[in-house]
Structure 1
């Protein structure tokens, strides 16, 4: 019974051009990767500041492993909460302007654990339609009554909030930077709506921490107090180049997660060397602000040149720069052609994005060279010219 069921599902995945495939790679310098004998420039990952392969982080990780061991050996609440974990939580709280922070092993676990705790007991959850899968899954896991408002439509959110019950707590959840579109939430408006309807606001700032805000503090960071954004989630495996995640907030939030979040209580703490590497990344984030400056220059240059070339990139001022192609087969074709030209890019299809909105997703990094960026833009312009499609040559938004 099981074998034909799974075979049927896999065959359907292939027929719909939704087959996912891993690529085994080895890193080189300047965001270059080796795929067997072929060299590719990585425009698919989220290493926005070029820290993932920085030798200083690798050395910090190695020193941490030598001092504290390769693994933590237990959960945080047993015997796995080691000195580097404690120091990292204090640094992350300081970065984001929060009283405290709590480490999780992954961003997915941070969102599942937080929503499992906050969504219990009849809480009403309101989510942006384009929120990350971990936020949607977390709300479902909590069993809370959930509604989804139109993407960045805060009047729609206000309507939903106004029709909700005053007898149950309300939680509004949004990405800070939306991972597939690259646009950002309006935190000020969200905070205003939440305060008007006595709701808590939870922001997942996975793609903002390290990149946006004062000193890389993110979309929320020090600009918004805990009373405006009581729940702040961030990840460590993107701009900070290591692994893991955190939730930042006040004592009430962190104590509640420590006591009740199953994704925190029942998992082994991250390896201490990883925490040491992240601490080193925070040092570099503070001492080398030019990394963020270079990244900002790359984004501006990309947008200007894409407009000059007539490429209809989606509106985004972040390192995430999507090109909407619509059709999954077409996205796969462009992705293969770009790989033949030496570029690794994200081919994003349903269910990650809605049907008809398949896209190439380019991500920029401070480690990219201007030469590589220009070469990719020229390759895209050549593809667009050789394969005309209705609306493809519309002006950049």
Structure 2
């Protein structure tokens, strides 16, 4: 169809530069190994940290809920789409997170949009880490509030932003708990202290910390013993929790306000019964099977040590997210392709997801891996890395 020539031109340029990547369909469940194009590969790109996407308890909860309540809800939450299970799950999640209340939305992305677009006005300012997730960036774009960007995890830069914005009604500091591309953890205790010093609100996006950090996977706030000192926690139910959705954990007032003002909540059909029941069961698994988190961290330490020993640059990761930093965009994708050839599925990440010159293959180990599988993966990394003169 005529009219999209400018798009086709850009796509052709991406193909010429080696940065165009097609979607890769997986033909199996999301385990330690997956089937792609009929070939079994070690999965190192999934956010399924604890293996809960295939946990028998979650699968059974989903099947039972669909059988009893149907495939969908047929409405938004504010009209006829709030089932008793939605409220029950939010109460359970609030207790788990040690907050007054929670509100569940369709994704972590929409949760960030709902908070930032709803709670702030032109009288306010949002202060954001420069490497925060795209959903935070887009949420900031939707607000009429002023905005300040501080240097990545730079406390001096943050304090300067706080000092220069004292005339606003409210200041909201926003940070990822765990940064999704580098795997480093925000210095949350120091950030909280600065926010308390300057009477600012603080919001933490715990997408990659939920189910990974803190007691039973409660996140970075619990990891640093900061319960009751962080105003808003946003997280996902789609990564370590293994299902789908996002949540906002805060006060009852914030929950009530977002129910009335949060456009992603107001104008989206509620989660199907199977999703809600599986998410609820996941919280029980986090409480009752802590060995899954222990296994995740044992595998993480083992794999990181192996990559470092081989000579790869893994940046400053403190979590199961371990980037193998290559630099050149095309070469990062070449590494990904070589790994696939040698039995490992690990996706290349390039601009605009990360800055130019910092392309990488991002790896994530899970509780489902074992040392035998990780040794196979390390052998593939060694072979591919040497062939491409990366190590």
* Structure 1 residues 385 and 16: CA distance shift in structure 2, 3 A: closer
Alignment partners' CA distance in 2, 1:142 and 1:167: 15
The 3-state SS of whatever aligns with 2:243 is coil
Alignment partners' CA distance in 1, 2:194 and 2:209: 22
Aligned counterpart, 1:248: 249
Determine if the alignment matches structure 1 residue 224 to structure 2 residue 200. Answer: no
Q: Pick which of 372-381 and 171-180 moved more.
A: 372-381
Alignment partners' CA distance in 2, 1:177 and 1:151: 12
Aligned counterpart, 2:70: 69
Alignment partners' CA distance in 1, 2:73 and 2:178: 32
Alignment partners' CA distance in 1, 2:284 and 2:107: 21
Are the equivalent residues in 1 in contact too, given 2:127–2:149 (CA < 8 A)? yes
* Structure 1 residues 233 and 20: CA distance shift in structure 2, 3 A: same
* Cα offset, 1:29, TM superposition: 7.6
Q: Pick which of 133-142 and 21-30 moved more.
A: 21-30
* Structure 1 residues 2 and 122: CA distance shift in structure 2, 3 A: farther
The 3-state SS of whatever aligns with 1:282 is helix
Q: Pick which of 341-350 and 374-383 moved more.
A: 374-383
The 3-state SS of whatever aligns with 1:40 is strand
Are the equivalent residues in 2 in contact too, given 1:106–1:235 (CA < 8 A)? yes
Alignment partners' CA distance in 1, 2:30 and 2:150: 42
* Cα offset, 1:20, TM superposition: 3.2
Over the residues paired in the alignment, what is the CA RMSD in angstroms?
1.5
* Cα offset, 1:67, TM superposition: 1.1
Determine if the alignment matches structure 1 residue 152 to structure 2 residue 157. Answer: no
Alignment partners' CA distance in 2, 1:316 and 1:104: 29
Aligned counterpart, 1:55: 56
The 3-state SS of whatever aligns with 1:241 is coil
Aligned counterpart, 1:23: 24
Alignment partners' CA distance in 2, 1:253 and 1:121: 19
The 3-state SS of whatever aligns with 1:12 is helix
Alignment partners' CA distance in 1, 2:98 and 2:305: 34
The answer for unaligned runs of 5 or more in structure 2 is none
* Cα offset, 1:267, TM superposition: 0.7
* Cα offset, 1:312, TM superposition: 2.1
Alignment partners' CA distance in 2, 1:271 and 1:61: 9
Are the equivalent residues in 1 in contact too, given 2:123–2:168 (CA < 8 A)? no
Determine if the alignment matches structure 1 residue 3 to structure 2 residue 14. Answer: no
Alignment partners' CA distance in 1, 2:111 and 2:31: 31
Aligned counterpart, 2:37: 36
* Cα offset, 1:91, TM superposition: 1.3
* Structure 1 residues 141 and 28: CA distance shift in structure 2, 3 A: closer
Alignment partners' CA distance in 2, 1:275 and 1:264: 15
Q: Pick which of 98-107 and 121-130 moved more.
A: 121-130
Aligned counterpart, 1:235: 236
Q: Pick which of 380-389 and 311-320 moved more.
A: 380-389
The 3-state SS of whatever aligns with 1:34 is strand
Aligned counterpart, 2:172: 171
* Cα offset, 1:120, TM superposition: 2.1
Aligned counterpart, 1:362: 363
Deviations 1:163-184, CA, capped at 9 Å, x for gaps: 1242331110000010000001
Alignment partners' CA distance in 1, 2:336 and 2:375: 17
* Cα offset, 1:154, TM superposition: 1.1
Aligned counterpart, 2:139: 138
Alignment partners' CA distance in 1, 2:168 and 2:365: 46
* Cα offset, 1:310, TM superposition: 2.2
* Structure 1 residues 2 and 144: CA distance shift in structure 2, 3 A: farther
Aligned length: 389
Aligned counterpart, 2:97: 96
Alignment partners' CA distance in 1, 2:347 and 2:243: 21
Deviations 1:132-171, CA, capped at 9 Å, x for gaps: 0000000011132112111110110101111124233111
Q: Pick which of 31-40 and 174-183 moved more.
A: 31-40
* Structure 1 residues 89 and 158: CA distance shift in structure 2, 3 A: same
Are the equivalent residues in 1 in contact too, given 2:31–2:54 (CA < 8 A)? no
Alignment partners' CA distance in 1, 2:288 and 2:268: 33
Q: Pick which of 181-190 and 251-260 moved more.
A: 251-260
* Cα offset, 1:375, TM superposition: 1.3
* Structure 1 residues 12 and 238: CA distance shift in structure 2, 3 A: same
